[in-house]
Amino acid sequence: MLAETGAGFTSGGAAHLLLKAMRVVYIGLGANLASSAGPPEATLACAAERLGALGRVAARSRLYSTAPVGFADQPRFLNAAVKLETALEPGALLDALMGIEAGFGRDRSGGLKNGPRTLDLDILLIEGEAVDEPGLVVPHPRLAERAFALAPLCEIGAGARDPASGATMTEWLERLFAERPEERGAVVGIESNLW
């Protein structure tokens, strides 16, 4: 996708446009602990606003209350997804997301794997692109197994496709629910005036 990212003027006054390739990226958001912004729904709302500094937030899902995965002895999570149009390279985007997480008190250096957190931002999918580099694999390597990420993603990107298989995100979610029907009850859409 090409999008206008700026305009400039030559010394002669003739305008020229700078066109740059924009990626369409789906970002997963999650939290189950309060941060400096307030409860998890306030944290997710503030984080979604900060994502706007990285490009254009084209859509965002509603919030979902989801059961924890892996480590069950913790509060339920709130999850959502954002569709972001950005000119950032995937590695630079990941660095920016980690910076946003840190701004809300997330410390990735320690803690329990799949444990409680103030904010989690993951690159779930980049339309038409796969990434496999140290520290970053896209689509997210466990996306097809995670209803808490797929349900909000399908709300804003149902037709988005896995670049390897060509399967849509809706197909992935339907397959997951068919294989593990208990997942349907683990992901519940909710309303919040903070979101």
pLDDT reported for residue 67: 82
pLDDT reported for residue 184: 87
* DSSP states of 65-79: EE--SS--SSPPEEE
Name the residues annotated as catalytic: 106, 117, 120, 122
pLDDT reported for residue 168: 97
pLDDT reported for residue 69: 80
Task: Provide the residue type at 130 as one letter.
Answer: A
CB 147 within 8 A of CB 173: yes
Whether the CA torsion 147, 178, 144, 48 is positive or negative: it is negative
pLDDT reported for residue 21: 78
3-state helix vs strand vs coil in the chain, percent to 5: 30, 35, 35
Which domains can be identified in the chain, with CATH numbers? 2-7+23-190 (3.30.70.560)
Q: With a cut of 50, which residues of the chain have pLDDT below it? A: 1-16
pLDDT reported for residue 112: 65
Question: ω before 75 within 30° of 0 (cis)?
Answer: no
pLDDT reported for residue 14: 42
